[in-house]
Amino acid sequence: MGKLILLCQNPALTDWLAALFAEHAPQLDVLRPGDAQAHLAEVAVCWFPPAGSLGQLPNLRLVHSIGSGVDHLAQDSSRDPAVPVCRVVDPDHTLGMSEYVHWGVLHFHRGFDQVIAGHSQQHWQRPVQRKAEHFKVGVMGLGAIGAPVAQRLAGAGYDVRGWARTPRQIEGISTFAGAPSLHGFLAGLDVLVNLLPLTASTQGVLNHAVFHHMADGSALINCGRGQHLDAEHLRQALASGKLRGALLDVFEQEPLPADAPLWHMPGVWVTPHMASAASDLCIARQVADNVSRLAAGLELNNRVDAELGY
């Protein structure tokens, strides 16, 4: 098999990946930047690769994300767009995302955000309890992850509606499609959950225009990508009271820098891209399988469509 190099901005993640492949795919010839033969690598396994790193690999034949998203590769503009890109698709990813979003909706529905915020002031006030059926939740993105998430919330009794670029039919859920229906989808929402893929048309989609149509005192849960969110528009919406809170799991730069304003923005809850992640074994097996397929000249699994971006 060809040589494989690990490219991550976070050194701790590089160490974790090296240990992961050593345990689950010891047949792979794994390198790190700075190794004597690093420039000979044919496969780059990445999560937020350092700028310029991919362009230093003249033998590169495959770029492999360790997650379901590939937008983090934009951190390195030196990547040759002709080199195929693959991603990891874990069948358990949907379950993890559904659990996280359900928890996030409960966080705002039951007022845990208000209780936690009042804890430091020893403020004892019980939030008003609302029935789930009176709490409106909107899910943007109704693909392989978004649709099951919406169904789980509907099964828990919430008033759920969904929005996607193209028409979808999901039993028990009101669905909206395309830009003309977006305002109707947003109208009166108590919580908006973003699970859209990142494309040119969805960049910055979480902005003033979206927040304006939601209910006053509503909340945002972003599990899509950091680039979906206009952070300044979020700050303004929180400051005005239009939004009461935001649960953010994805960011333009990860790890989120210590001096990032989002850490200290009132009403914002930051989690470290933990909503759902592929298992160690799944990452190792899918990368190793694609390395083997590349060597044999076979079709690659989970190859990304360059035009769609996923």
Structure tokens at 224: 């899509």
> What's the number of CA atoms in the CB half-sphere (13 Å) around residue 144?
9
Helix axes 112-119, 93-109, angle to 10 degrees: 70
User: What residues are annotated to the active site?
Assistant: 225, 273
Which tokens hold the place of 190? Answer: 């108590």
Specify whether the CB–CB gap between 175 and 149 falls below 8 A. Answer: no
Helix axes of 146-155 and 93-109: crossing angle, nearest 10 degrees? 50
Dist. CA 21–CA 288, nearest whole Å: 9
Q: How far is CA 151 from CA 101, 102, 139, in A?
A: 12, 11, 10
Cβ-Cβ contacts under 8 Å for 285 (sequence gap 6 or more): 24, 25
Nearest to 126 by CA among 111, 139, 105, 113: 111
Residue 154 host element (H or E): helix 146-155
CB 193 within 8 A of CB 103: no
What's the CA angle centered on 199, arms 266 and 249, to 5 degrees? 30
Q: With CA atoms as reference, report the closest residue to 40 among 23, 18, 59.
A: 59
Cβ(135)–Cβ(160) below 8 Å: no
* 18, 32 Cβ separation under 8 angstroms: yes
